[in-house]
């Protein structure tokens, strides 16, 4: 392994995969705290353990409030958004139930639902986006049946950046007593989320994208009155004599030792986000993104997919170059220009099928909080040159 590689030469435009680099102060503070208090939280009464437990609790509290939740104990930590979505989807559906989702989803929604469909007799309807990559809430409501228990929707697309009208979908679900799970992997940390105002029953988030925490973090906020069945069991550090896993939150959905280092990262990242302001971060990203999208839109032979609207949008775009395999464009960007992109289906095959970009997919560029105008300009020049070669 060569750890001497100089990552500073990389023009990193793969922030939809994970934001990079993370704020230096977050990394420094999390390792400092882990070095001093990195013991097993909530297991014993000695001081170190109490401090570690307090750190975990304060992070729950901060994140619950960040998402408009009033109950810190209903903020459940998980390993990432995939883990969190599995907990929610498997814990809310039973054989014979009907669930509705969309073509915009990531495999972390599609696959758990497909497994329940194949193995547990759950019926699943998949709603296509209507136009501009946006799902029409009425298209979802039209599929409601007496057996519909759950709607699972993506908040922000990791392929084309569209932000779905979650509140309107939530209102329709609430009217019918149907649970709404929202995959906020791409939006948490950059788009304001209020679970109460948006009628979200269960919010799934990841910690390592716009929340600016480390990989290996994520979780759920489970709104009051919503009961997610536990689907895994084990130690919680309390009531050890009890033969079954505990029902109360957060224990209900957490088993085993918490990721203290990662949770410390989320805690200090919350402070970073509060100081810089998520509105300011979004404004910064979208300004760079608009520059990128506008310039790419003028390149001969290049197609921008899904939408070019800047409204209801994250700084994520997908493109193809006529006559070029997206994987080759990604390799050229990497090898010849040091531009980090993501190519292929980006773990979201159904949106590509609907856009007509399957099976080869697209090249995705995604702007993050640490990007500068020079990154975007370098990427524009690189894509211009690659596309010009393809035309010749
Ligand atoms: C929309 C969406 N959902 C879910 C996930 C899964 O997130 P994680 O890799 O943190 O499990 C991603 C990650 O790319 C995503 O973009």
pLDDT at residue 319 in the model: 98
CA of 163 to the centre of ligand 1 (A): 15
Identify whether 202 is preceded by a cis peptide bond (ω within 30 of 0). no
Residue 219 CA, ligand 1 centroid: distance in Å: 12
Residue 236's pLDDT band, with cuts at 50, 70 and 90, is: confident
pLDDT over threshold 70, residue 391: no
Q: Tell me what the mean pLDDT of segment 221-226 comes to.
A: 98
Q: Whose CA is nearest to atom 16 of ligand 1?
A: 158
From the CA of 183, give the closest atom in ligand 1.
3
- Rounded mean pLDDT of 279-305? 98
Closest Cα partner for 87 from 214, 253, 211, 252?
253
3-state secondary structure of 278: helix
Stretch 38-58: mean pLDDT, rounded? 92
Residue nearest atom 15 in ligand 1 by C-alpha distance: 185
* Atom from ligand 1 closest to the CA of residue 83: 11
Is the pLDDT at 390 greater than 80, yes or no? Answer: no
Percent of the chain scoring above 90 in pLDDT: 95
**How close is the Cα of 185 to the center of ligand 1, in Å?**
5
Copy the structure tokens of residue 66. 């960040």
For a substitution probing ligand 1, which of 81, 153, 181, 259 has the most ligand atoms within 8 Å of its CB?
Answer: 81
The pLDDT of residue 392 is above 70 = no
| pLDDT tens digits, 130-141 | 989 999 999 999
Asked if 213 and 233 touch (Cβ cutoff 8 Å), the reply is: no
Q: What is the model's pLDDT at position 42?
A: 82
pTM of the model: 0.97
| Cα(366) to centroid(ligand 1), Å | 14
- The model's pLDDT over 324-366, given as tens digits with 9 standing for 90+, comes to 999 999 999 999 999 999 999 999 999 999 999 999 999 999 9
- The more confidently predicted of residues 105 and 392 is 105
Q: Order across the sheet with 75-78: list the strands.
A: 75-78, 218-222, 202-206, 179-183, 148-154, 98-102, 123-127
Count of residues making up the chain: 392
Mean pLDDT of the chain: 97
- Consecutive H or E run containing 303: strand 302-304
Q: Which residues line ligand 1 (CB under 6 A)?
A: 80-82, 106, 108, 154, 158, 183, 185-186, 206, 218
Query: For residue range 139-180, what is the model confidence (pLDDT) as tens digits?
Result: 999 999 999 999 999 999 999 999 999 999 999 999 999 999
Distance 322 CA to ligand 1 centre (A): 29
Cα 85 to ligand 1 centre (Å): 10
Task: Please report which confidence band the pLDDT of residue 238 belongs to, taking 50, 70 and 90 as the band edges.
Answer: confident
Query: Does the pLDDT at position 269 exceed 70?
Result: yes
Give mean pLDDT, residues 27-48: 93
């Amino acid at each position: 392994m060569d750890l001497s590689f100089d990552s500073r030469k990389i023009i990193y435009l793969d922030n939809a995969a994970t934001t990079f680099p993370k704020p230096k102060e977050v990394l420094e503070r999390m390792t400092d705290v882990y070095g001093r208090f990195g013991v097993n939280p909530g297991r014993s009464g000695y001081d170190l353990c109490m401090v570690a437990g307090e750190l975990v609790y304060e992070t729950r509290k901060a994140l619950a409030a960040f998402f408009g939740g009033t109950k810190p104990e209903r903020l459940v930590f998980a390993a990432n958004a995939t883990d969190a979505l599995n907990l929610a989807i498997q814990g809310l559906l039973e054989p014979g139930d009907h669930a509705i989702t969309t073509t915009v989803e990531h495999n972390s929604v599609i696959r758990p639902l497909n497994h329940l469909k194949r193995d547990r007799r759950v019926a699943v309807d998949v709603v296509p986006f209507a136009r501009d990559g946006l799902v029409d809430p009425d298209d979802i409501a039209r599929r409601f049946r007496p057996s519909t228990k759950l709607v699972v929707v993506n908040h922000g697309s990791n392929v084309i950046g569209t932000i779905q009208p979650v509140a309107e979908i939530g209102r329709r679900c609430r009217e019918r007593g149907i649970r709404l799970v929202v995959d906020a992997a791409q939006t948490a940390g950059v788009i304001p989320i209020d679970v109460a105002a948006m009628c979200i029953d269960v919010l799934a988030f990841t910690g390592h994208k716009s929340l600016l925490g480390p990989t290996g973090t994520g979780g759920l906020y489970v709104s009051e009155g919503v009961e997610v069945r536990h689907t895994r069991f084990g130690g919680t550090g309390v009531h050890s004599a009890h033969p079954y896993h505990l029902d109360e939150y957060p224990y209900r959905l957490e088993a085993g030792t918490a990721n203290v280092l990662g949770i410390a990262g989320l805690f200090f990242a919350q402070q970073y986000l509060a100081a810089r302001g998520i509105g300011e971060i979004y404004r910064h990203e979208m300004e760079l993104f608009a520059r990128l999208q506008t310039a790419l839109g003028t390149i001969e032979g290049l197609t921008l997919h899904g939408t070019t609207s800047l409204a209801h949008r994250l700084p994520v775009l997908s493109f193809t170059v006529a006559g070029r395999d997206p994987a080759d464009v990604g390799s050229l960007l990497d090898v010849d220009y040091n531009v980090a992109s993501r190519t292929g289906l980006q773990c979201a095959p159904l949106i590509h099928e609907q856009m007509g970009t399957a099976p080869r997919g697209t090249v995705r560029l995604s702007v993050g909080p640490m990007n500068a105008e020079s990154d975007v300009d370098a990427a524009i020049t690189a894509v211009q040159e690659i596309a010009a070669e393809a035309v010749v």
